[in-house]
């Protein structure tokens, strides 16, 4: 039997090109997440114009730095120069950001070549310099947080990385439990987080390879922390945060994955994406999210096979009409015994 923990803090981890404000808004409506973080805003050597911050965080303009459901959205900055990072952090807080997150974990080669993201992990002192400068530029009541990995191409500095962020005054640290060179290849080395925490005062959040409630329990056991940042796992399973809360004795939430209405979610996700950036964007995003969902359910895998060959946005309505009809029929037939995991549909030849 799994140990019952108190209600955890759950953060939505940023994912470049995936977790835009549309998806953040929908996930916040499902509930279970305490805090969200934007895709990274690239900082070079100057103060960015306000429209850049509004592009990545429409919540600043629309709802006071929170989602429409009231979940705070921290703005994530990525850069290697303390001065410009501090200047931009101060500005985004003036625009209403409830917190600033610093990206020291992005493994993208282009980002790293331009002195950003995980590149700074080679020299932990640089994490201190950037974090300290931002902390000094932002009012004390506004959290400054950091996202890191265990190192760049080795884990020898993992404790120094934690020390640099802690001693610079960060409010908390999110640790993606892999190095830059390990990218997203399993497993996540959660046990290193336990080592990083020794002698540290700031809260730690564990991140990486948390796809299910069982993964969450293993992560807590190995890392020693119950606070987590969910990224791909929550995109693939939108109810995961609520499921984790349910097993952690948080009586304020209860929603099983079998109660999730995928058609309603997909329709609204597509509608909002089209409104945000047009029909082509809406179709691309629909394909993207169903690719993630296909990891969990055979039914969603079939839907992904159908939607991935659609080239014209006009076909989307036909796609929705088909899956809605089939899903309703399957629910009626299997609702009382098998549940959604057993549902299958036949894919028509014109897809």
Helix (H, G, I), strand (E, B) or coil at 66: strand
Cis peptide before 187 (omega within 30 of 0): yes
DSSP 22-57: HHHHHHHHH---SEEEPSPEE--SSPPPHHHHHHH-
What DSSP designation does 13 have?
P
Are the beta carbons of 280 and 37 closer than 8 angstroms?
Answer: no
How many angstroms separate the Cα of 294 from the Cα of each of 107, 233, 341?
A: 25, 12, 11
How many angstroms separate the Cα of 348 from the Cα of each of 27, 314, 318, 323?
A: 31, 17, 12, 11
Q: Residues 6 or more apart from 223 whose CB is under 8 A from it?
A: 177, 190, 191, 193, 194, 204, 206
- CA–CA separation, 240 and 184 (whole Å): 19
Beta bridge partners of 147: 103, 174
- CA–CA separation, 273 and 278 (whole Å): 7
Token pair 């973080």 in the structure block, residue: 37
Helix (H, G, I), strand (E, B) or coil at 103: strand
**Which residue among the candidates 66, 106, 219, 248 is catalytic per the annotation?**
106
Are the beta carbons of 80 and 119 closer than 8 angstroms?
Answer: yes
Q: Residues 6 or more apart from 179 whose CB is under 8 A from it?
A: 149, 150, 151, 152, 153, 154, 155
Whether 106 is catalytic = yes
The tokens for 47 are 């103060």
- CA–CA separation, 41 and 18 (whole Å): 14
Catalytic residues, by residue number, are 106
């Amino acid at each position: 039997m799994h140990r019952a923990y108190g209600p955890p803090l759950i953060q939505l981890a940023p994912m470049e090109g995936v977790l835009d404000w549309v998806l953040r808004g929908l996930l916040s409506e499902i509930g279970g997440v305490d805090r969200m973080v934007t895709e990274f805003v690239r900082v070079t050597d100057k103060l960015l114009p306000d429209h850049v911050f509004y592009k990545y965080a429409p919540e600043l303009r629309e709802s006071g730095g929170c989602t429409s459901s009231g979940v705070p959205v921290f703005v994530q900055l990525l850069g290697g120069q303390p001065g410009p990072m501090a200047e931009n952090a101060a500005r985004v807080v003036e625009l209403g950001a409830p917190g600033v997150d610093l990206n020291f974990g992005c493994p993208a080669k282009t980002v790293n070549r331009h002195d950003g993201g995980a590149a700074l992990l080679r020299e932990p002192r640089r994490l201190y310099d950037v974090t300290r400068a931002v902390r000094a530029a932002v009012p004390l009541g506004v959290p400054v947080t950091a996202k890191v990995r265990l190192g760049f191409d080795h884990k020898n500095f993992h404790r120094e990385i934690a020390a640099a962020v802690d001693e610079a005054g960060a409010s908390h640290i999110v640790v993606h439990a892999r190095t830059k060179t390990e990218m997203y290849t399993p497993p996540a080395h959660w046990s290193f987080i336990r080592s990083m925490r020794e002698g540290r005062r700031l809260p730690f959040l564990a991140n990486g390879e948390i796809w299910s409630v069982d993964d969450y329990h293993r992560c807590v056991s190995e890392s020693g922390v119950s606070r987590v940042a969910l990224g791909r796992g929550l995109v693939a399973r939108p109810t995961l945060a609520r499921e984790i809360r349910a097993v952690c004795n948080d009586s304020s939430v209860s929603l099983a994955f079998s109660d999730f209405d995928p058609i309603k979610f997909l329709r609204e996700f597509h509608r909002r994406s089209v409104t945000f950036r047009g029909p082509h964007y809406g179709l691309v995003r629909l394909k993207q999210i169903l690719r993630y969902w296909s990891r969990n359910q055979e039914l969603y895998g079939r839907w992904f096979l159908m939607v991935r060959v659609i080239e014209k946005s006009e076909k989307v309505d036909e796609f929705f009409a088909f899956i809605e009809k089939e899903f309703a029929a399957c629910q009626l037939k299997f609702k009382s015994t098998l549940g959604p995991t057993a549902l299958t549909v036949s894919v028509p030849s014109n897809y």
